[in-house]
Amino acid sequence: MASSGEEPRSGSPGRAGTGTGTEPDAAADAAQLDTAEDFEVLEEEEEEEEEEEDEDDLSELPPLEDVGRPAAPAREDAQPPEQRAGDAPGDPQEWLDVLGNGLLKKKTLVPGQGVDSRPQKGQDVTIRLKAMLEDGTVVEEDPALTFTLGDCDVLQALDLCVQLLEMGETALVVSEAKYCYGAQGRSPGIPPNASLTLEVELLAARDAPDLELLSGKEKIQLANRKRERGNFFYQQADYVLAINSYDIALRIVGSSSKVDFSPDEEAELLDVKVKCLNNLAASQLKLDHFKAALKSCNLVLEHQPGNIKALFRKGKVLAQQGEYREAIPILKAALKLEPSNKTIHAELSKLVKKHADQRNVETEMYRKMLGNPSAASTPRKCKDKLPWSIPWKWLFGATAIALGGVALSVVIAARN
């Protein structure tokens, strides 16, 4: 699997999106993620990013182990329950509708060691896997595939059904594309919207390693595998599972340790943490989780105040919330760090225009609320009201007072 999180050609099968058919261009979306390399921040609607190359070999999914178990018996015909009406209740051949929607079914071929031997979430399990298309074409075989149960490291069909397997049990799983590779499929060999039949044998289950006892290198490798899995989900537009994988990687990086790390290992762990937080913010922004995305960006900037991706995404989050006044200085700071970045230029120009429009609207709204007369009507009103004009009521009152005064003077004069 490449550092951008593309689907591996071999090894652990990846999980596609939910098959909604609304996925964005994978190459452009990959440019939004922090991988093993640095790259410019580009918006998928504006530019396409060239595919990144691996700098290291940390992108493999959980390693494969060869435990030397014998091959399982030949696969039986996988037919839905309605076509096998002769199966008696409790028969090992009986189908189990795992989710109750008919899209994921499991049938036991070889019984295991009992319900108590089933693996638990969080354990590292090893299975023998054989994946086939509906016509029987084998598209994946692995004698010893190891992954952490419940961490979405593999196909969702596997993650759900292996929890129901007993130790030593061999089962047949028939899954719709929704729980396999979805609308994208996987090149080569697995077309879009392809249902798969999975023959699975549970070989081993053991507790996951104690994070406190991992060496610096082991912790970095494990966190990077989870981060790369998140990158894969992001490309598949499955942002919820991408967030889940980034959260797991962050928990690994942030876990306490009883082992001393070298300064280089500490620096590399911090680098993994920053990349996960940046990618987490990108996923949260896709889901309009603005408050969470803003928190993720701020955590990056606490460690790296000049991180361009975090500044850019923080500006976008604030802009999405209509906080243009706060967003513009942040994008200006990002542009100052990378003046040639066309995407930041375009985003900043767009925000400046939106801010100006917002101010004009607010000015007009306040003017109407305060009832200020328009500029056009003011001169006319001033012209209509001449400074020497006196209301007739005032004139009548003044005349009455004057006449009263004259009458009073005449009466006084007569008395004298």
pLDDT of residue 147: 93
| 8 A C-beta contact, residue 106 and residue 170 | no
- Surface-to-core class of residue 279, CB atoms within 10 Å of its CB (0-12 exposed, 13-18 middle, 19+ buried): buried
Structure tokens at 280: 């987490």
Sign for the pseudo-dihedral over CA of 243, 244, 246, 251: positive
Whole-number percent of the chain with pLDDT over 90: 48
On the question of pLDDT at 3 being above 90, the answer is no
Q: Which of 151-160, 356-365, 400-409 has the highest mean pLDDT?
A: 151-160
118 or 341, which is more confident: 118
158 or 17, which is more confident: 158
Q: Residue 97's beta-bridge partner residues?
A: 105
Contacts 24+ apart (CB under 8 A), 56-60: 58/220, 58/221, 58/224, 58/225, 58/228, 59/1, 59/2, 59/3, 59/5, 59/224, 59/225, 59/228, 60/1, 60/8, 60/11, 60/225
* Confidence bin at 390 (pLDDT 50/70/90): low
391 or 266, which is more confident: 266
301 or 376, which is more confident: 301
Encode pLDDT of 54-78 as tens digits.
333 333 333 322 323 333 344 444 4
For residues 199 and 366, what is the distance between their CA atoms, to the nearest angstrom? 69
For residues 355 and 117, what is the distance between their CA atoms, to the nearest angstrom? 62
Structure tokens at 31: 């440019």
Alpha helices in 236-262 (DSSP H): 239-254
Q: In what order do the strands lie in the sheet with 196-206?
A: 95-97, 104-110, 170-175, 196-206, 124-132, 138-148
Percent helix, percent strand, percent coil in the chain, to nearest 5? 45, 10, 45
For residues 9 and 193, what is the distance between their CA atoms, to the nearest angstrom? 18
At residue 91, what is the residue type? D
Rounded average pLDDT over 168-184: 91
For residues 282 and 333, what is the distance between their CA atoms, to the nearest angstrom? 19
On the question of pLDDT at 205 being above 80, the answer is yes
| 8 A C-beta contact, residue 110 and residue 119 | no
pLDDT of residue 401: 72
pLDDT of residue 55: 37
Whole-number percent of the chain with pLDDT over 70: 64
For residues 374 and 360, what is the distance between their CA atoms, to the nearest angstrom? 15
* Nearest CA-CA partner of 179 in 5, 388, 55, 19: 19
Least confident of 86-90, 228-232, 271-275, 398-402: 86-90
At residue 249, what is the residue type? A
Domains annotated for the chain, with CATH where assigned, are 90-208 (3.10.50.40)
Taking only Cα atoms into account, the Rg of the chain, rounded to an integer number of angstroms, comes to 36
DSSP 217-239: HHHHHHHHHHHHHHHHHHHTT-H
* Confidence bin at 16 (pLDDT 50/70/90): very low
For residues 249 and 224, what is the distance between their CA atoms, to the nearest angstrom? 7
On the question of pLDDT at 278 being above 90, the answer is yes
* Confidence bin at 124 (pLDDT 50/70/90): very high
Mean pLDDT of the chain: 76
Least confident of 107-116, 148-157, 200-209, 357-366: 357-366
For residues 148 and 122, what is the distance between their CA atoms, to the nearest angstrom? 6
The pTM of this model reads: 0.65
pLDDT of residue 97: 92
Encode pLDDT of 321-366 as tens digits.
888 888 888 988 988 988 888 888 888 888 778 777 666 666 767 6
* Confidence bin at 242 (pLDDT 50/70/90): very high
